[in-house]
Chain A
Amino acid sequence: MERWHYALVLAACVAVTLPLELGLGARVYRRPWLVVRTLLPVIVVFVAWDLVAYARGVWWFDDGHILGPSLFGLPAEEWLFFVVVPLCVLLTYEAVGNVLRYGWNGAARRAPALRPTARAEVSHG
């Protein structure tokens, strides 16, 4: 179980933020192309920082607390970190926006059956 320390905390992040998509209408996972375009530049910049820092010995990862697979010295968990954390940020931002705009109940009511075009129509109107 020791080796799952990093992986489990990432899984917890995904699990904790999932209700924001399902219950507060965040609509992040439902816009995959927007997510991909948003994450790519973030990943390029911050993975570059991570790679340089790792190469220069600024930080390193404890072999006893990661699963093992790695790429360019960064463990698989560290690569996933740069997908999971921005997703959590986007889910939080969208959920906060919905709650501020529609209230808790309104955000919850918008959650399940919102059509993809509904928001575009609102912003055009």
Chain B
Amino acid sequence: MGEYTVLALAAPVAVIALELLVLRTGLLRQVRYWITIAIVFAFMVPVDGWLTKPEGTVVHYDPAAKSGIRAPWNIPVEDFGFGFAMITMTLLMWLWWQRRDHHAGPPPPRRRAPRTTRTAHEGDSSEMSHA
């Protein structure tokens, strides 16, 4: 148990709290979110595995800062906490900005004008048929 272990556990909790208490996008209730997590984790294994491979390591970790559990291969389990938090925060921001854009609203719809005109025409034609 080192500082990376603690942060890798705290970060997902913090991001989930951000969603539940502040943003409330509904992301965590979406099936597509959990499928996305599964797919991204599946691809994270070869990528992270490559960066942490014992021969030709790209990223080295201080053994004292983490739990020492490496799975699969040589990947520190803490990386999945980091990954989960980053994936989730990215998608939260993505949904939050879209909701904000949507609520800001598009400019007043232009199609209203033609519809009024058509109603006027219909009125005209009915008057004409009465005549």
Question: Chain A interface (Cβ within 8 Å of chain B)?
Answer: 2, 5-6, 9, 12-13, 16, 34, 37-39, 41-42, 45-46, 49, 53, 56-62, 64-66, 85-86, 88-90, 92-93, 96-97, 100, 120, 123-124
Nearest residue in A to B94 (C-beta to C-beta)? A38
Name 16 extra pairs, CB < 8 A, besides A5-B51, A16-B43.
Answer: A34-B94, A34-B101, A37-B93, A38-B93, A39-B90, A42-B86, A42-B93, A46-B85, A56-B3, A56-B65, A59-B62, A59-B65, A65-B56, A65-B58, A89-B87, A96-B36
Judged by a CB distance under 8 angstroms, whether B60 is at the interface is yes
Given known pairs A42-B93, A58-B65, the reply for A97 and B7 (CB within 8 Å) is no
Of A16, A49, A60, A86, the contact of B60 (CB 8 Å cutoff)? A60
Nearest residue in A to B93 (C-beta to C-beta)? A38
List, in ascending order, chain B residues with CB within 8 A of A97's CB: 32
Judged by a CB distance under 8 angstroms, whether B40 is at the interface is yes
List, in ascending order, chain A residues with CB within 8 A of B31's CB: 100
B50 touching A96, Cβ below 8 Å? no
Of B32, B51, B93, the contact of A100 (CB 8 Å cutoff)? B32
Q: How large is the interface on B (under 10, 10 to 19, 20 to 34, 35 or more residues)?
A: 35 or more
27 contacts between A and B (CB under 8 A): A5-B50, A6-B58, A9-B50, A13-B47, A16-B43, A34-B101, A37-B97, A39-B90, A42-B90, A42-B93, A46-B86, A46-B89, A53-B4, A57-B65, A58-B3, A58-B4, A58-B65, A59-B59, A59-B60, A59-B61, A61-B59, A62-B59, A65-B57, A85-B86, A89-B86, A93-B36, A120-B106
